[in-house]
Amino acid sequence: MALFSRSRTSRQVTGSAAEYVALLHLQKNGLQLIERNFLCRGGEIDLIMQDGATLVFVEVRKRSSRQFGGAAASVTPAKQRRLICAAQQFLQRYRQPPACRFDVIAIDGDELEWLRNVMEV
């Protein structure tokens, strides 16, 4: 028994399940996983994938329905800034950074939508 076990909230469990569904979808479409849940001081990136020569930073959003704007609409300007900051931290690993893009996997209920190149940096 661990002294400091951390139980996960239902929101965390749902988020992890959505990330797994997104990962399977992206892999089925030819992308390769580089890293999952990259965390740094500036933010977090759910999935970092390789699509040919392009590095893809993927934000996964899950909502039960589109009633309040849906999953894609939940990627606010503040969230976009945190994603960019985290991506910049990740890219410091590279001597010559590769081409990259930001994608969103939006899951509303059981419907998955893959939005490619959603932000210009």
Handedness of CA 35, 36, 40, 42 (dihedral sign): positive
Position 21 scores a pLDDT of 96
At 19, which CATH number? Answer: 3.40.1350.10
- 27 within domain boundaries: yes
Domain extent at residue 21 = 10-115
Q: How many domains does the chain have?
A: 1
- 3 within domain boundaries: no
Question: Which of the two residues, 87 and 7, has the higher pLDDT score?
Answer: 87
Query: Within 10 A of 57 (CB to CB), how many other CB atoms are there?
Result: 25
SS3 state of residue 91:
helix
pLDDT tens-digit profile of 10-43? 767 777 899 999 999 999 999 999 999 999 998 9
- 61 within domain boundaries: yes
